[in-house]
């Protein structure tokens, strides 16, 4: 594959801005450190985990013959779409297939390239899967930006590999190389769960899901306003659902609602489905992995409830929230209701009014504001 350039990579359909990039120093360093092993690996023996927009996958494909195929796992469906778009434009001959994290992804893998997750629980899950299914001589190259890496990551990897070595830093990035795999003797831990007495609600969390089994304070504030909704039947969406707390509460409060819990993260969707099941609501909540409700038809929903992110990856950025507001405006029927909680200093009210429709403040405390917008 000739002519691939990191500089041509796009983040689309994720938000794009001058301070947001489709490739970082960790991508480049992982590929440089692993290049010899990738070339020597043999057909279908290289696995990519955690690629954000295609830099690792297309960079590895550039090192291989066209007939070689890569196996890829991305938690984010937005990352999957970005990789597919970048491949179509920049590297149409690149061979790769998407898999869930597990046996099919990793059986026989000799080289694994990993963008380190921020969560130690997610790293443990990935390392367990590599150690459980990959080849005896597998080598794991796990990289990230130094400011996001901790010594605890090395300790997690030492549970599964006999040799764990942190390489020299370059451009504020570093790669940990792990060899001499040690096969796990026990099955991985199931999805974590916690009962919240004050809410009367079980919360379940797959590794890496935002807030884990806790209830973040923004969501907790928003939950107090759900009994005041004007919409009690029809189709509702918990947009950016995380562990599915809002979806479960909606389904419990309003049995006539058809509730969808949607998130771009596979771990979040797994968590939301588990939360619904743990609360006896499996038949009332449909968990869907999606990019900003892209699979939902226009004007098809009566209610959207959202606790939007205030960051894009590690960068504080309003673009992710604004993308979700635009998605809600498209998917809501005229007269449909959007309930949002956000950090008060962000002052989204004018944007909600211009994007969705008339917007009123329902509540405000020292940190958060809850608003209701009605679709024009």
Residue 189 exposed, middle or buried by CB count within 10 Å (0-12, 13-18, 19+): exposed
- CA angle in degrees (0–180, nearest 5) for 26-18-145: 20
For 307-349, the pLDDT digits (tens) are: 998 755 554 457 889 999 999 999 999 999 999 999 999 989 9
Average pLDDT over residues 162-176: 97
Q: What is the CATH number of the domain that holds 155?
A: 3.40.50.150
Residue 271 belongs to domain spanning: 192-374
Is residue 318 situated within a structural domain? yes
Same domain, 303 and 264: yes
Same domain, 225 and 365: yes
Is residue 291 situated within a structural domain? yes
Cβ atoms within 10 Å, residue 121: 18
pLDDT value at position 52?
Answer: 97
How is residue 52 annotated by DSSP?
Answer: S
pLDDT of 276 > 50? The answer is: yes
d(CA 175, CA 313): 19
Same domain, 34 and 172: yes
Query: Sign (positive/negative) of CA torsion 258, 356, 241, 223?
Result: negative
Query: Sign (positive/negative) of CA torsion 153, 63, 78, 134?
Result: negative
Give the end of a domain, one of 181, 215, 247.
181
d(CA 208, CA 114): 15
For 185-242, the pLDDT digits (tens) are: 888 878 999 999 999 999 999 999 999 999 999 999 999 999 999 899 999 999 999 9
Domains in the chain: how many in total? 2
For 7-46, the pLDDT digits (tens) are: 999 999 999 888 899 999 999 999 999 999 999 998 789 9
Give the end of a domain, one of 135, 161, 181.
181
Same domain, 200 and 158: no
Give the end of a domain, one of 158, 181, 204.
181
Same domain, 213 and 149: no
For 287-303, the pLDDT digits (tens) are: 999 999 999 999 999 99
For 59-117, the pLDDT digits (tens) are: 999 999 766 799 999 999 999 999 999 999 999 999 999 999 999 999 999 999 999 99
Residue 283 exposed, middle or buried by CB count within 10 Å (0-12, 13-18, 19+): exposed
Contact 357, 325 (CB under 8 A): no
Please name every residue paired with 260 in a beta bridge, in sequence order, or none if there are none: 237, 286
pLDDT of 1 > 50? The answer is: no
pLDDT value at position 311?
Answer: 52
Cβ atoms within 10 Å, residue 282: 15
pLDDT band at 369 (very low <50, low <70, confident <90, very high): very high
Same domain, 163 and 110: yes
138 CB contacts (<8 Å, ≥6 apart)? 109, 110, 111, 112, 130, 179, 181
Is residue 1 situated within a structural domain? no
Is residue 186 situated within a structural domain? no
Is residue 187 situated within a structural domain? no
What angle, 0 to 180 degrees and rounded to 10, lies between the N-to-C axes of helices 120-133 and 151-158?
A: 30
Segment holding 86, helix H or strand E: helix 77-90
Give pTM, 2 decimals: 0.94
d(CA 93, CA 257): 46
d(CA 192, CA 67): 41
Same domain, 242 and 145: no
Is residue 118 situated within a structural domain? yes
The DSSP result for 94-138, as a single string, is: --EEE--SSHHHHTT-SEEEEEPPS-HHHHHHHHHHHHHHS-TT-
Same domain, 91 and 177: yes
Is residue 218 situated within a structural domain? yes
Same domain, 151 and 209: no
Same domain, 243 and 144: no
Is residue 294 situated within a structural domain? yes
Same domain, 224 and 366: yes
Q: Which of 246, 186, 189 is nearest to 221 (CA)?
A: 246
Same domain, 61 and 201: no
């Amino acid at each position: 594959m000739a002519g691939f350039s990191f500089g041509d990579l796009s983040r689309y359909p994720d938000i794009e801005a001058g301070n947001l990039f489709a490739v970082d120093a960790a991508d480049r360093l992982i590929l440089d450190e692993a290049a010899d092993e990738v070339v020597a690996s043999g057909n279908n023996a290289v696995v990519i985990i955690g690629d954000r927009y295609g830099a690792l996958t297309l960079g590895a494909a550039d090192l291989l013959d066209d007939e070689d195929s890569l196996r890829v796992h991305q938690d984010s469906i937005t990352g999957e779409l970005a990789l597919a778009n970048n491949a179509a434009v920049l590297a149409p001959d690149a061979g790769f297939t998407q898999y869930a994290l597990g046996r099919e992804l990793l059986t026989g893998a000799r080289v694994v390239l990993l963008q380190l997750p921020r969560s130690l629980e997610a790293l443990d899950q990935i390392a367990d899967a590599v150690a459980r299914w990959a080849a005896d001589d597998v080598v794991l190259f796990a990289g990230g930006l130094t400011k996001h890496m901790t010594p605890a990551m090395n300790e997690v990897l030492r549970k599964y590999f006999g040799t764990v070595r942190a390489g020299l830093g370059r451009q504020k990035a570093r790669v940990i190389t792990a060899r001499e795999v040690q096969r796990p003797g026990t099955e991985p831990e199931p999805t974590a769960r916690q009962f919240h007495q004050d809410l009367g609600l079980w919360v379940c969390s797959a590794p890496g899901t935002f807030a884990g089994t806790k209830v973040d304070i923004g969501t907790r504030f928003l939950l107090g306003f759900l009994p005041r909704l004007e919409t009690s039947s029809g189709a509702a969406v918990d947009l950016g659902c995380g562990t599915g707390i809002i979806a479960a509460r909606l389904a419990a409060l309003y049995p006539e609602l058809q509730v969808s819990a949607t998130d771009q993260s596979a771990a979040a969707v797994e968590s939301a489905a588990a939360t619904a099941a743990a609360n006896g609501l499996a038949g009332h909540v449909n968990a869907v992995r999606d990019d900003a409700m892209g699979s939902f038809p226009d004007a098809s929903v009566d209610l959207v409830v959202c606790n939007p992110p205030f960051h894009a990856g590690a960068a504080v950025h309003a673009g992710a929230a604004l993308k979700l507001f635009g998605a809600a405006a498209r998917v809501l029927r005229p007269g449909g209701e959007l309930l949002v909680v956000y950090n008060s200093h962000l002052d989204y009210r004018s944007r909600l009014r211009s994007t969705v429709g008339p917007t009123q403040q329902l509540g405000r405390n020292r940190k958060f504001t809850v608003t209701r917008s009605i679709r024009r």
